[in-house]
Amino acid sequence: MAANNLRHALFCAIVTLIISFPILGLNLEAKGINITLTGAKTSTYVAIVLAAVVVFVFQIFRDSFMGVLGKLPNLNPLAGREPMEQSKRVKLESWILTGIVIFALFWPFLVSRGSVDLATLVLIYIMLALGLNVVVGLAGLLDLGYVAFYAVGAYTFALLSQYTGISFWMALPIGALLAGLTGMILGFPVLRLRGDYLAIVTLGFGEIIRILLNNWTTLTGGPNGIGGIPDPTLFGMEFGRRVKEEGNTSFHETFGIAYASEHKIIFLYLIALVLAVITALIIRRFMRMPVGRAWEALREDEIAARSLGLSRTAVKLSAFTIGAFFAGFAGTVFASKQGFISPESFVFLESAIILAIVVLGGMGSQLGVILAAIAVTILPELAREFSEYRMLIFGAAMVLMMVWRPQGLLPMRRIHIKLNRQE
Amino acid sequence: MSMLVLENVHTHYGKIEALHGVSVEVNRGEIVSLIGANGAGKTTLLMTVCGTPQASSGRIILQGRDITHEPTAQIMRSGLAIVPEGRRIFSGLTVEENLHMGGFFNTKSEIRKSQAHVYELFPRLKERENQRAGTMSGGEQQMLAIGRALMSRPNMMILDEPSLGLAPLVIKQIFEIIGQLRDEGITVFLVEQNAHQALNLADRGYVLETGKIRLHDTGKNLLENPDVQNAYLGG
């Protein structure tokens, strides 16, 4: 065992040297037309050797390190606690959710403009994560191209507003429906796929949409994106200083208050909040309906679910469509918030982040997903001072999270359905 | 009157033919056993009845209706229930929820009735009502799989190797239950490697060998048939 450890540690240290020496220790310098190879400062070499020593020591004592990590949950005072009774838990959860919503309603009036803007982004991610939660958490279909539906929603609004001058409120259902339709169309070819294969095909689909948007320059403007997307209005009242569209009035004049740029931001935030709450409520409803149980049955055991007469096609398509629908919802809000969109906003990293939110939150659990969305969006902002290291911190946080709580922040506890036996 | 008829059914997996023209008839109220060695095509035959994969030629008729080209979901909702090989219960759900999944397309009052009936047949399941199904023993899981299949109030039940991996005492119990199902008027099509018990219980039996029906007789005659004894009953 010890010899084995030593050999492994030596190997790791050597790999560290091999990797870091050429990257950090050698510099290419352009001198005229020639490129010369120069060494780095002595301190860099010392650092490389030190790093190798650290790796070596860590690998030798790895088992005890990891052992300590594994024991940490015992320090958590809540770990050994009996799970709460179902009725109590459901009640507590809805109280917490109501509390969060009420707090969220008043929050924009207390804080700075930047915070409200960030909070709107958080709400958009909550919508996205709740939608993806249906596909990945409940139906168990690993979708790596979820951002495509987000893009469909956003581009629907942007293009329609550019070519037909449609308003936000008209675009919202159209964007969501179109995204849902796209979800259904994608659903057909991937019905037979499972696991890894499904993930790869959805990943490809996400890229197809992005590349299409990038290259169809005549329609989408390509990498230049689309600007001038209108802000939402409140019953025909605009939030700008001057009214842009004929027939509209402006918010501050109607109510006789001074113009403030915050009004628009707060209004957008409130729209996003209402839509996020609606998303959560509708999906909660779905989870308790037969279709929700069918999703879970299919996730648990596809053959068994089919043997009971469930149609694989209908169940999978419904999950895909509903998930995509809410991504379209979020996309429309996003387009309106930014006022400008380009394919750059819909890269694979977005899909990965949304998926990370669902996994971190605990697959299938709504409250968990909401908390994770808040954490994942705000964490990089808080760590902005570390600038280039923030993604590193983000990654480390994820790794630690998976070691400690592989089941997510708040793993899903199923609502046990009972029939009352009277009668 | 026949419940299920297979007429000269061929089934392919890609280019490979797994069933070479199989004809089987199951009459209403019978227990019919299908025995055969590993790889003879027993499970393929059952799956073909369920529509996954679909037969490439021949006809399958369930209760007078041609179901050869119907999708699986539709077949499984027309009075047929299957207890799949390896039980395949929903291990994360409780026993009760598993049963409710079995009655997915029924009304609440129907579910309540069938649930009471299943608990009557398997008092053990009633005791474990709120337990996660995956935490039960193999025998209990098999009972749950049968109970779940019963929840849709089928006229015919197909069982794929219900004795797989169970203790002899539990197997005996399961076979008793299967006999009971017949007494309730459910037609049973039983696929087994455990040939002795399966033929003992069955009214009639079929022997499947490399995708073809080799023999077909009453259960009793098959038990006494020297060829069957040699090949499947350990001589």
How far apart CA B190 and CA A346 sit, in angstroms, is: 54
- Whether B158 and chain A come into contact, CB under 8 Å, resolves to no
The C-alpha atoms of residue A33 and residue A28 are separated, in whole angstroms, by 12
Confidence (pTM) = 0.82
Nearest chain B residue to A314 by CA distance is B73
Pick B101's closest partner by Cβ from A297, A303, A421: A297
Q: Is A317 on the interface with B (CB under 8 A)?
A: no
Asked if the C-beta of A245 comes within 8 angstroms of chain B's C-beta atoms, the answer is: no
Could you give the ipTM of this predicted complex? 0.89
Architecture of A88-404 per CATH? Answer: Orthogonal Bundle (1.10)
Per the CB < 8 A criterion, the answer to whether A180 and A322 are in contact is yes
Every domain range in chain A assigned CATH 1.10.3470: 88-404
Residue of B nearest to A293 (CA): B101
Which residues on B lie below 8 Å from A300 (Cβ)?
Answer: 90-93
Would you tell me which residues 77-96 of chain B have a C-beta closer than 8 angstroms to some C-beta of chain A? 77, 81-82, 84, 88-94, 96
How many angstroms away from the CA of B227 is the closest CA of chain A?
35
DSSP A329-349: HHHHHHHHHHS-B-GGGGSHH
Alpha-carbon distance B169 to B156, whole Å?
Answer: 26
Which one of A299, A307, A312, A421 would you mutate to disrupt binding with B, by most B Cβ within 10 Å of its Cβ?
A307
Distance of CA A397 to the CA centre of its chain: 16
pLDDT (tens, 9 = 90+) of chain A, 423 residues, equals 567 778 888 888 888 888 888 777 777 777 778 877 777 778 888 888 898 898 888 888 877 777 776 666 555 555 555 666 667 777 887 888 888 889 888 888 888 888 898 999 999 999 999 999 999 999 999 999 999 999 999 999 999 998 898 889 999 999 999 999 999 998 888 878 877 899 999 999 999 999 999 999 998 888 999 988 888 877 767 777 776 666 677 777 777 777 777 788 888 999 999 999 999 999 999 988 889 989 989 988 999 999 999 998 899 999 999 999 999 999 999 999 999 999 999 999 899 999 989 988 888 888 889 988 998 888 777 777 776 676 777 788 778 877 777 777 777 766 665 655 543
How many CB atoms are closer than 10 A to CB A279?
A: 22
